[in-house]
Copies of this chain bind each other. A is one copy, B any other.
Amino acid sequence: MPRTTTGAQTKEHANPAREARLAIRGGKHRGHTGGLAPGYVQGNLCILPADYAMEFAAFCQRNPKPCPLIGAGAPGDPGIPTLGEDLDIRFDVPQYRVFRHGELADEPYDIGDAWRDDLVTFILGCSFSFDEALLDAGIPLGHMAGGENVAMYKTNIDTVPAGRFSGKMVVSMRFMTPADAIRAIQITSRFPGVHGAPVHIGFPEMIGIEDLQEPFAGDRPEVRDNEIPVFWACGVTPQVTVAQAKPPLCITHKPGAMLITDLLNKDLATP
């Protein structure tokens, strides 16, 4: 017998993610989103013309570790109801970057004017979600303790190409004690929707990183004795890929100013 719904009342719960989005939409918050709506998934944004969209969707499907797709819009539709009922991608990110033919053209606070009927929105998971899980597990993260950005590196690891999209993987790196590295591998394996398990541990040169003190992005990491560098696929990978493909138009979030979704980090975890 199918389970019947017994008319339970739908309660209007406070939703800190929606409140943060509304503050952003109203121009009340324009900076980084780190620390806003703790526990809720924040996502990387990539908007492309329909002509490029299916190729990018295929690129994400083929490269789930750097490009974990957690939401997508229909062509021309600025809503993504699976990530927030009233979400409007034209106004709900604190600051955007508009690229034309691969060149940064503008950094607007909304993209109401830039929106077109052929644009498709992609939202990719970000390591904020698993950083929260690592901290909850008592694993110290050097970059967060110092209020810095995690160190990111270009590697020699090829992504799987799809149409005009291809290139090398970008990784983020966290130094950890051996015991914390083991625990971090266990924890992040449960979060395939936000980069999942590390792609490498131990030997930077094996993945084409010559000097850990020269990150491609983020801050220089502090090195401590008896710690192992642990490398995760990074959501900057698709940005580099898209920049190389030079589509006539591409809109992303400004780094650090993410889309706050109604998804809960803990709901991304596999059993």
Contacts and interface: CB of A to CB of B under 8 A. Distances in A.
Contact of A202 (B189, B198, B206, B228): B228
Contacts of A203: 178, 226
Contacts of A198: 182
B202 A178 contact: yes
A65 to B, nearest CB: 12
A29 interface: no
A179 B200 contact: yes
Given A226-B206, A271-B271, A201 B178 contact: yes
A186 interface: yes
Contacts of A181: 201-202
Contacts of A50: none
A269 interface: no
A268 interface: no
Interface in A256-271: 271
A185 interface: yes
A197 interface: yes
A200 B186 contact: no
A201 B178 CA distance: 5
A204 to B, nearest CB: 10
A197 B184 CA distance: 12
Nearest to A1: B1
Contacts of A206: 178, 226
Nearest to A228: B202
A185 to B, nearest CB: 5
Contacts of A189: 186, 189
A178 B197 contact: no
Given A178-B206, A201-B228, 10 more contacts: A179-B199, A179-B200, A182-B185, A182-B197, A182-B198, A182-B199, A182-B200, A185-B185, A185-B186, A202-B202
